[in-house]
A and B are shown apart, each in its own frame.
Chain A
Amino acid sequence: MTPLLLLPGWGYPLLLLACSLVPAVTIFLLPRDAQRLRNLVNLGGAGLKLLVVMAMLWGVYQGQSYSFALPLGAGLELLLHIDALALLFITLSALLWFVTTIYAIAYLQDDGEQRRFFGFFSLCVASTVGIALSGNLFTFFIFYELLTLSTLPLVAHQGDDKSLAAGRTYLRYTLSGSAVLLLGILWLEVAAGSGSFLEPPLGMAVLAQESPITLTVIFALLIAGLGVKAAIMPLHGWLPAAMVAPAPVSALLHAVAVVKAGAFGIVRVVFDVYGIELMQALHLGLPLTIVASATILLGSLIALRQEEIKRRLAYSTVSQVSYIVLGASLLTPLGFIGCLAHLVHQGIMKITLFFCAGIFQKKLGIHRIDEMDGLGARMPLTMLAFSAGALGMIGLPPMAGFISKWYLGLGSLQAGQGWVIPVLVGSSLLNAAYFLPPLYRAWFRPARVDWPERPAGRWEAPLWLILPGVFAAMAALGAGVFAAFPVSPLEWARLIVAREYTLP
Chain B
Amino acid sequence: MTALAAVSLALTPLLPLLMALAVVPPRSREWVARLLPLAPLPALAAAFLVQSGGDLLLEPVLLGLDLGIDGPRRLLLVMTALLWMAAGLYGRGYIPRDAAQHRYNAFFLASMGGNLGLIVALDAPGFYLFFSLMTLCSYMLVVFERGERSYRAGRVYLVLSLIGEMALLWGLLRAVAAADSLMIDDMPVALAEGGALTPLLLFFGFAIKAGQFPLHVWLPLAHPAAPTPASAVLSGAMIKAGLLGLLLFLPLGEAAFAQPGLLMAALGMVTAFYGVLFGLPQRNPKTVLAYSSLSQMGVLISALGVVQASPQAAPLLLPAVVFYALHHGFSKGALFLSVGVVQQGRTGRLLALSVAAVAAVAIAGAPLTGGSLAKLLVKAGVEEAQGTAASLVAPLLSWSAVGTALLMLRFLAALAAEPRKQGEESKEPPGAGWIFWIPFAGTAALAQLFAWSLVLVEGAEVAEKAVTAYGLWESAWPLLLALVLAAVWLLAERRLNLPKPDVAEGDLIAWVPTLAQVRESGHRLYITLARPLRRRPQLVTATGQGLADVVQKWEQALVRPQGLPITLLLLSGLLLLVILAS
Contacts and interface: CB of A to CB of B under 8 A. Distances in A.
B575 interface: yes
A233 interface: yes
B174 interface: yes
Contacts of B62: 397-398, 403, 480-484
Given A180-B568, A283-B582, A220 B166 contact: no
Interface in A136-188: 169, 172-173, 176-177, 180
B158 A436 contact: yes
Interface in A479-496: 480-486, 488
B520 interface: no
Nearest to B567: A234
Nearest to A299: B551
Nearest to A396: B132
A192 interface: no
A220 B572 contact: yes
A59 interface: no
A53 B576 CA distance: 40
Nearest to A425: B166
Interface in B154-192: 158, 162-163, 165-167, 169-170, 173-174, 176-177
Given A283-B582, A406-B63, A302 B162 contact: no
Contacts of A290: 578
A19 interface: no
B289 interface: no
B422 interface: no
B493 interface: no
A410 B177 CA distance: 6
Contacts of A403: 62-63
Contact of B551 (A176, A234, A421, A429): A234
A389 interface: no
B170 A220 contact: no
Contact of B59 (A224, A237, A287, A484): A484
A284 interface: yes
A169 B559 contact: yes
Given A173-B564, A224-B572, A397-B133, A444 B63 contact: no
Contacts of B564: 172-173, 176
Chain B binding site: helix, strand, loop or mixed by DSSP?
Answer: helix
A1 B346 CA distance: 79
A466 interface: no
Contacts of B568: 176-177, 180, 224, 228, 235
B136 interface: yes
Interface string B228-240: 0000000000000
B162 A432 contact: yes
B575 A485 contact: no
A429 B166 contact: yes
A409 interface: yes
Nearest to B162: A432
B571 interface: yes
A409 B169 contact: yes
A405 B63 CA distance: 13
Contacts of B59: 484
Interface residues of A, number: 63
A413 B201 CA distance: 15
A34 interface: no
Interface in B547-582: 547-548, 551-552, 554-555, 558-559, 561, 564-565, 567-568, 571-572, 575-576, 578-580, 582
B128 interface: yes
Nearest to A414: B177
Given A425-B169, A444-B151, A484-B61, A234 B555 contact: yes
A221 interface: yes
A304 B165 CA distance: 20
B571 A224 contact: yes
A195 to B, nearest CB: 18
A282 B579 CA distance: 9
Contacts of A398: 62, 129, 133
Nearest to A391: B136
Interface string B100-136: 0000000000000000000000000100110011001
A184 to B, nearest CB: 9
B576 to A, nearest CB: 5
Q: How large is the interface on B (under 10, 10 to 19, 20 to 34, 35 or more residues)?
A: 35 or more
A388 to B, nearest CB: 12
Nearest to A283: B582
A223 B582 contact: no
B114 to A, nearest CB: 10
Contacts of A291: 575
A297 to B, nearest CB: 9
A413 B173 contact: yes
Nearest to A395: B169
A208 interface: no
A463 interface: no
Interface in A234-254: 234-237, 240-241
B143 interface: yes
A169 B561 CA distance: 9
Contacts of A216: 576, 579-580
A302 B553 CA distance: 12
A444 B555 contact: no
A86 B568 CA distance: 29
Nearest to A223: B575
Contact of B548 (A176, A219, A301, A484): A301
Nearest to B125: A406
Given A177-B568, A216-B576, A305 B548 contact: yes
A30 interface: no
A340 to B, nearest CB: 16
A436 B552 CA distance: 24
Contacts of A486: 60
A284 B582 CA distance: 9
A481 B61 contact: yes
A446 B151 CA distance: 14
20 contacts: A180-B572, A216-B580, A224-B575, A228-B568, A234-B555, A234-B558, A237-B554, A298-B547, A396-B132, A396-B136, A397-B133, A402-B129, A403-B62, A405-B169, A406-B173, A410-B177, A414-B177, A421-B174, A482-B61, A484-B64
Interface of A: 169, 172-173, 176-177, 180, 213, 216-217, 219-221, 223-224, 228, 233-237, 240-241, 282-284, 286-287, 290-291, 298, 301-302, 304-305, 396-398, 402-403, 405-406, 409-410, 413-414, 418, 421-422, 425-426, 428-429, 432, 436, 444, 480-486, 488
